[in-house]
Structure 1
């Protein structure tokens, strides 16, 4: 059995919803289409399609294979284009994973600009605050917020964000203002579930000396905006990256604490499986994001034109003239 051809037949049957329409699209007979599907199911040892006289539906195994088959066929098409053309155009589906708050605030305004610049690339965006396995879960690219970078995948840095300890004016009026890390022991703190250091908050003072304090949490949240809202409402002290709370600090909804102490910065990274055989669609997306956040990310500058306005001007340079 030609497995690549079988994947092509299977994907065509699913996308067109019919053995007959798939046969027409592939310029073959319905009997051949049926044979390929039967051989593929026998090879995999599982049913992929539920057949009835009126319609086809995917089994759970069929759904998983369909998603992977589309990616495989897109990569094969790109490989063929690369072999036959010196000017490969980015095309096909691009699956991207990104953190929820960062994705909404700083990436969502960019997607329409990228789509305008590269109309043959289909974006498939998934937002999640957990760290996904980009290979196992079939992502082409992930945006990660990390202090340690990526040891197992290739990565390019998009920007850096300060981590800032802060609280609302109402909370500070009721509970007092901490002057040094050790003072946080007596305060209500709001934690981020995925933080690598759990309830240990690490600082460096102006002289470069390290400080660590174990805080007491009154709430954990697996999303930064949830903790941010609780802090704005006066429920405790948080540390969050500047890209999340920068506007709140500028507006006075939150107040930065302990100016003589600094938490380690974090990097915003574009992570992908490998630098080798990098597809055109991933390459142009990474280049696009690097440029959009350069030279200094909008969350690290005073109020003014934000990432959307900067990206609009820069995206013009990406657009191909038809």
Structure 2
């Protein structure tokens, strides 16, 4: 059954004629008549008796109108409510984010966003794997250096970062332009044959890390290097507060180890208001920072 034709039939039935329905809705009388005729043909019954100026519903027409009028009104009302609701963000927003970003950033971000949009409830999952947004029903994924396979997603870069080599202040930085071997705390994914070339404050140097610990995340690496175990390569966002407080010293940045963090969502034609609001919020939050 064509619901548009059914809606036109109900308009005509409610107004008691094609002319009245045409005047009230602004739809041409001929269009209304054609749609009712299409509905009659589809159902195989006559719904309206047309005899000159007289208008009368048949028994089948009256039964159809009585059974469907309230239902169509409810459908139209639901559509209006949904359309009006799209003007403000609301509902559950499911977010996937890397563990480091989740632990260092996401808590404050989520709290501020929900204060601004109290009808949104954030459900976040902290994990470093690549989730399938559509298959796993995520609205937004935060990803570090998104790979080419993400080409079916839309997104915006929200921040940049770079890697710095840090150590406790009692450990001296090596002489410039020399290769120096140091005990190091590294993440599990770091290459066995890694060589770190450093630049900073007019100084350049090269460090060959000798891993004394391989740990699962940069957060754990930071805690270990604070304990004085050795040097460590950390994202600047994670090391900056410790360096500013004097608990760690930065020996320099590692060129070509820049990091971009993106927020991604599926490339649907109509992006939900809650997703659009969260994307705009993230971009605005980091725009004024040194990491934008």
CA gap of 1:113–1:237, structure 2 versus 1, over 3 A, is same
Deviation at residue 194 of structure 1 after TM alignment: 4.3
Q: Which of the two has higher C-alpha Rg?
A: 2
Other-structure match for 1:93: 92
1:1-322 map, 5 Å? 84-85=83-84, 88-146=87-145, 151-152=150-151, 153-170=153-170, 172=171, 176-179=172-175, 183-184=179-180, 186-194=181-189, 200-201=194-195, 203=197, 215-258=209-252, 262-274=255-267, 276-297=269-290
The whole-number CA distance in structure 1 between the counterparts of 2:150 and 2:205 is 26
Please give the TM-score of this superposition, normalised by the length of structure 2.
0.61
The whole-number CA distance in structure 2 between the counterparts of 1:89 and 1:115 is 13
Deviation at residue 114 of structure 1 after TM alignment: 1.3
What is the number of equivalent residue pairs in this alignment?
Answer: 211
Please give the TM-score of this superposition, normalised by the length of structure 1.
0.56
Does structure 2 conserve the Cα–Cα contact (< 8 Å) formed by 1:202 and 1:264?
no
If each structure's strand is expressed as a fraction of its own residues, which one has the higher value? 2
Unaligned runs of 5+ in 1: 1-78, 301-322
Residue range with higher mean Cα deviation, 265-274 or 229-238: 265-274
- Superposed CA RMSD: 3.4
CA gap of 1:86–1:116, structure 2 versus 1, over 3 A, is closer
Deviation at residue 269 of structure 1 after TM alignment: 1.3
Unaligned runs of 5+ in 2: 1-77
Deviations 1:93-115 (A, max 9, x none): 11112223322332211222211
Deviations 1:188-228 (A, max 9, x none): 12112345x5653554758xxx9987633221222111000
Residue range with higher mean Cα deviation, 242-251 or 266-275: 266-275
Does structure 1 conserve the Cα–Cα contact (< 8 Å) formed by 2:199 and 2:252?
no
